[in-house]
Structure formats: structure tokens, C-alpha cells
């Protein structure tokens, strides 16, 4: 079964609104989670590394004020797309590593498809 | 330059065929390498890690060439269920940065 749960799976919103996406590790604690964005037929682009109890580390070119990440507990990280615009429409996906699992194995959430009208 | 590059394909092969994918990475400090599988509109899932000595898991064989900075995946006796996109993944900084290739699409046909 799924070990990382992501919600919502689909969201449609109006331009200018903010959207929050949750990523939960279901049966393990994740001190680090990763947020990716994927465009159709393109690779997963690492947006940021979410660190429990501290600030997220953003990749170059990713606006931290646009994509707010909060990792308030060992099982939950949230990504908020603020003042969303049509160009923010994409597939957002989170992942986490499980300690004791296969070295380097990432468990992914089911992804969230955002459509901004 | 992209961290990881792959031929997007698609590779269209008949059942039973052998197919190979290559992937190149740009950072010589890359430490670990993986192949993930992604089905359409689904999340990626780990297929196999890639070890320096090469490794095999059933019909799947992965190879790493550090000197040339590429990794490969060989699939023997292709099944219809192997149809998917195969993502090459490279890890930097001891598991805290993973970079994905754009994926190679495989279509196995009856």
C-alpha cells in the first residue's frame, strides 16, 4: 500500500487564489521530504527540499515566496502555491526517504494536478 | 546543461524483444544511481539501484560507467506490462538531492 499520501490529487482554482497541497508519510517519520514539479513529457524538476523544523532549501530559480513549504511535523509537509496563475498549472509530486529502507529509495505521493483558470 | 539526460523515445518493441536505454549525467560527483518506472499519470516507483559492478534483477540488468558518466538499463524478454516510462535518477550529496532524467518511454506491443 501507499507509504506517502498526497492530497488533493486534483485541484482547479481561479487565478489569484492560493492552493495548499499536503504530503504525509503514513507509517514512517520523514525528516526530509522533496517537492517536484512535472510538466507533460518532461522530467521531474526538484523544486525544494523540505526539512522538518527548519526552512526549506529551494533550488535555483524556484521562488520561495511563491511556493511556500512548511514541514511542521515528521510526517507532514505542505506546499502552498500562492497567488496561483495559469503558468503554475502542473503536476506537483512529493517524495520522502524511509530510514531503513533500500538505500536511496524514494517513496512518492500520488501527485497533485493543479489547473489554474 | 541538464543534470541527467535521456533519450525520450518512444521505443516501440515487440513482446520478447531485448531493449536497452542509456542515460548520461553531468556531475562527476554523483554518488548513487537508480532506475525508476513511471506509469502514465502515476507516481514513479523504484525499479532498481545501479551498482558500480553492475547488477541484475530478473530480466533487468543495470550498468554504470563512471568514466563516461552514463548508466544503462537492459530489459530482456519484454512483456506488455513493461510498457512505461523509465526514469534515470542520480543522487548528489549523500541522498539529499535526487535529479531525474526526462524519462524514456517504452511501448511493448503484442
B-interface mutation test, from A43, A48, A90, A111, most B Cβ less than 10 A away:
A43
Strand A112-116 versus strand A10-13 pairing type: parallel
- The grid coordinates of residue A78 equal 505542505
Residues on chain A touching B32 (C-beta within 8 angstroms): 103-104
Residues on chain A touching B96 (C-beta within 8 angstroms): 32, 49
Q: Say yes or no: B35 contacts chain A, CB-CB below 8 A.
A: no
B67's CB contacts (< 8 A; 6+ apart) are: none
C-alpha B12/C-alpha A116 separation (Å) is: 35
Q: Say yes or no: B45 contacts chain A, CB-CB below 8 A.
A: yes
C-alpha B54/C-alpha A36 separation (Å) is: 29
pLDDT in tens, chain A (117 residues): 558 999 999 999 999 999 999 999 998 888 889 999 988 777 888 899 988 888 899 999 999 999 999 988 889 999 999 999 999 999 999 998 776 666 667 889 999 999 999
* pLDDT tens-place string over residues B48-102: 989 888 899 999 999 999 999 999 999 999 999 999 999 999 987 666 678 889 8
Phi/psi region, residue B85 (left: phi>0; alpha: psi -120 to 50; beta: rest), is beta
Residues on chain B touching A93 (C-beta within 8 angstroms): 43
Q: Say yes or no: B40 contacts chain A, CB-CB below 8 A.
A: no
A85's CB contacts (< 8 A; 6+ apart) are: A15, A16, A116
Distances (CA, A) of A81 to A5, A74, B43: 18, 21, 20
Residues on chain B touching A41 (C-beta within 8 angstroms): 8, 102
Out of A32, A44, A93, closest to residue B96 by CB: A32
CA distance A61 to chain B (A): 14
Amino acid at each position: 500500500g501507499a507509504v506517502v499520501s498526497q492530497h488533493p490529487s486534483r485541484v482547479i482554482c481561479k487565478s489569484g487564489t492560493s492552493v495548499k497541497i499536503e504530503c504525509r508519510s503514513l507509517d514512517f517519520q520523514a525528516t526530509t521530504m522533496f517537492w517536484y514539479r512535472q510538466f507533460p513529457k518532461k522530467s521531474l524538476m526538484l523544486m525544494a527540499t523540505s526539512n522538518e523544523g527548519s526552512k526549506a532549501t529551494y533550488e535555483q530559480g524556484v521562488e520561495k515566496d511563491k511556493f511556500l513549504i512548511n514541514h511542521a511535523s515528521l510526517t507532514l509537509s505542505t506546499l502552498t502555491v500562492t497567488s496561483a496563475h495559469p503558468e503554475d498549472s502542473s503536476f506537483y509530486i512529493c517524495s520522502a526517504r524511509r530510514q531503513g529502507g533500500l538505500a536511496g529509495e524514494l517513496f512518492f505521493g500520488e501527485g497533485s494536478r493543479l489547473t489554474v483558470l | 546543461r541538464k543534470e541527467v539526460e535521456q533519450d525520450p523515445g518512444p521505443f516501440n518493441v515487440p513482446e520478447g524483444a531485448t531493449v536497452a536505454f542509456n542515460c548520461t549525467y553531468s556531475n562527476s560527483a554523483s554518488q548513487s544511481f537508480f532506475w525508476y518506472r513511471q506509469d502514465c499519470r502515476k507516481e514513479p516507483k523504484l525499479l532498481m539501484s545501479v551498482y558500480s559492478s553492475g547488477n541484475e534483477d530478473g530480466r533487468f540488468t543495470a550498468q554504470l560507467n563512471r568514466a563516461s558518466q552514463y548508466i544503462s538499463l537492459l530489459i530482456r524478454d519484454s512483456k506488455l506490462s513493461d510498457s512505461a516510462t523509465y526514469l534515470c535518477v542520480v543522487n548528489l550529496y549523500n541522498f539529499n538531492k535526487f535529479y531525474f532524467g526526462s524519462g524514456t518511454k517504452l511501448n511493448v506491443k503484442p
